[in-house]
């Protein structure tokens, strides 16, 4: 058999390289919600500045060293006519030079590094907006984030609301295993432990919604332990706090404050009324509070205050649509197999719809 030699068209490898380059460059297309290289607050900006200083210095060192290497390779390359060069062993002068230069480079890098370590270790006494820092207690749970505002008497979960230009003073611990709190655009990641408080702080310079995550393997649902940082304008934050304060406290104190609770069941939208009853009879109420003014500490499930308008459900895992909420209520283990929310009485489509109608009144 004869083989026919078919020359490979030149464009194949070029096309392949082009496709590869396109894939690589696509990584630069943005937006970069999880990038530490796009700081949106003072803490992250300080860390980023140390990083970039180091990168630029390293780039200068790289060019000088590789340039010298290429120069030597070219200038002193062997020629057929060369005799054997003079043999030497070691050079004290050269060794001293190449010890001193890196020592100087490291000393230069150490200045901003140490300065930033001290600056980020201490929580500033006041915020850029002139207010004292906003205290937030962060509690990591398998697998969700609890946020308590001790000075405001508010507890919430998986959505950390803060006002712009207010320094946030985070005091963090874990209810079970080690987790790590991380909002890449605002602060470095920091571990949270069961028996020790760790601190972190930042001041947001822009409003918006920013994803955060647990950054320490903490069990089977570690990858689904996300949250959102909501940076509000001062007015929007005050409105959010007011709404949390207006949450129902009827469950605990008998004082109805929430719109849906102040209406007697009989005159409520029948679907909402049914959902309200189901929230109790389907045992949701055992683990979840719908009130941010939660007198119980260490509740098992995430606080659900304002769940009707939250961005995500399932600890930052699914967009908060009716369809996702139905799937989450009816087939929780399909969405998040090891979540603690199990062993519930079965919930039909009808019942889920009523529950959702009720939860949507929680704003």
Nearest to 140, CA basis, from 161, 163, 170: 170
* Among positions 42, 216, 226, 351, the unique one binding ligand CUA when judged by CB under 6 A: 216
Cα separation values, 219 from 116, 223, 225, 332, Å: 33, 9, 10, 17
Residue 139 or 218: which CB sits closer to ligand CUA?
A: 218
Residue 143 or 328: which CB sits closer to ligand CUA?
A: 143
Q: How far is the CB of 43 from ligand CUA (least distance, A)?
A: 21
Rounded Cα distance between 9 and 11, Å, is: 5
* DSSP alpha helix (H) spans, the chain: 11-26, 42-75, 92-121, 234-245, 250-253, 259-262, 270-281, 284-287, 322-330, 332-335, 349-359
Judged by CB under 6 A, does residue 148 bind ligand CUA?
A: no
Q: How far is the CB of 341 from ligand CUA (least distance, A)?
A: 16
Within 280-299, the residues that bind ligand CUA by CB under 6 A are none
Q: How far is the CB of 219 from ligand CUA (least distance, A)?
A: 7
Cis peptide before 31 (omega within 30 of 0): yes
Judged by CB under 6 A, does residue 225 bind ligand CUA?
A: yes
Q: How far is the CB of 139 from ligand CUA (least distance, A)?
A: 11
* Among positions 50, 172, 183, 218, the unique one binding ligand CUA when judged by CB under 6 A: 218
- Measured from the Cβ of residue 151, the count of other Cβ atoms closer than 10 Å reads 10
Rounded Cα distance between 310 and 363, Å, is: 8
Q: How far is the CB of 218 from ligand CUA (least distance, A)?
A: 3
Q: Is 36 helix (H, G, I), strand (E, B) or coil?
A: coil
Judged by CB under 6 A, does residue 315 bind ligand CUA?
A: no
Interface mask toward ligand CUA for 169-188; x: CB under 6 A: ----------x---------
Interface mask toward ligand CUA for 123-142; x: CB under 6 A: -----------------x--
Residue 137 DSSP symbol? E
Torsion angle of C-alpha atoms 281, 285, 286, 289, degrees rounded to 10: 180
Task: List residues binding ligand CUA (CB under 6 A).
Answer: 140, 143, 179, 214, 216-218, 222, 225
């Amino acid at each position: 058999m004869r083989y026919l030699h078919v020359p490979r068209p030149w464009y194949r490898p070029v096309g392949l390289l082009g496709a590869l380059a396109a894939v690589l460059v696509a990584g630069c297309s943005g937006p970069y919600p999880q990038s530490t290289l796009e700081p949106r607050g003072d803490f992250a900006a300080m860390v980023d500045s140390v990083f970039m200083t180091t990168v630029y210095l390293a780039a200068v060192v790289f060019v000088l060293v590789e340039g010298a290497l290429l120069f030597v390779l070219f200038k002193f390359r062997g020629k057929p006519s060369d005799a054997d060069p003079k043999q030497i062993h070691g050079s004290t002068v050269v060794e001293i030079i190449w010890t001193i230069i890196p020592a100087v480079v490291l000393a230069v890098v150490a200045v901003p590094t140490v300065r930033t370590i001290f600056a980020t270790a201490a929580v500033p006494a006041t915020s850029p907006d002139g207010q004292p820092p906003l205290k937030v207690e962060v509690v990591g749970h398998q697998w969700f984030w609890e946020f308590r505002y001790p000075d405001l008497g508010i507890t919430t979960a998986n959505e950390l609301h803060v006002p712009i230009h207010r320094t946030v003073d985070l005091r963090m611990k874990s209810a079970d295993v080690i987790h790590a709190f991380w909002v890449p655009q605002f602060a470095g990641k920091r571990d949270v432990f069961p028996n020790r408080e760790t601190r972190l702080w930042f001041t947001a310079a822009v409003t918006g919604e920013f994803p955060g995550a647990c950054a320490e393997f903490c069990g089977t649902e570690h990858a689904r332990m996300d949250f959102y940082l909501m940076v509000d304008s001062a007015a929007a934050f005050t409105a959010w706090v007011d709404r949390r304060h207006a949450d129902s406290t009827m469950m605990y104190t008998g004082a109805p404050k929430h719109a849906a609770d102040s209406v007697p069941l009989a005159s409520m939208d029948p679907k909402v009324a049914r959902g309200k009853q189901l929230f109790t009879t389907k045992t949701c109420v055992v683990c979840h509070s719908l009130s941010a003014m939660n007198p119980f500490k260490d509740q098992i499930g995430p606080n659900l205050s304002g769940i009707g308008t939250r961005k995500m459900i399932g600890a930052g895992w699914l967009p908060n649509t009716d369809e996702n909420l139905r799937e989450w209520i009816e087939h929780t283990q399909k969405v998040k197999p090891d979540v603690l929310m199990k062993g519930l009485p079965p919930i039909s489509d009808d019942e889920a719809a009523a529950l959702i109608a009720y939860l949507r009144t929680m704003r």
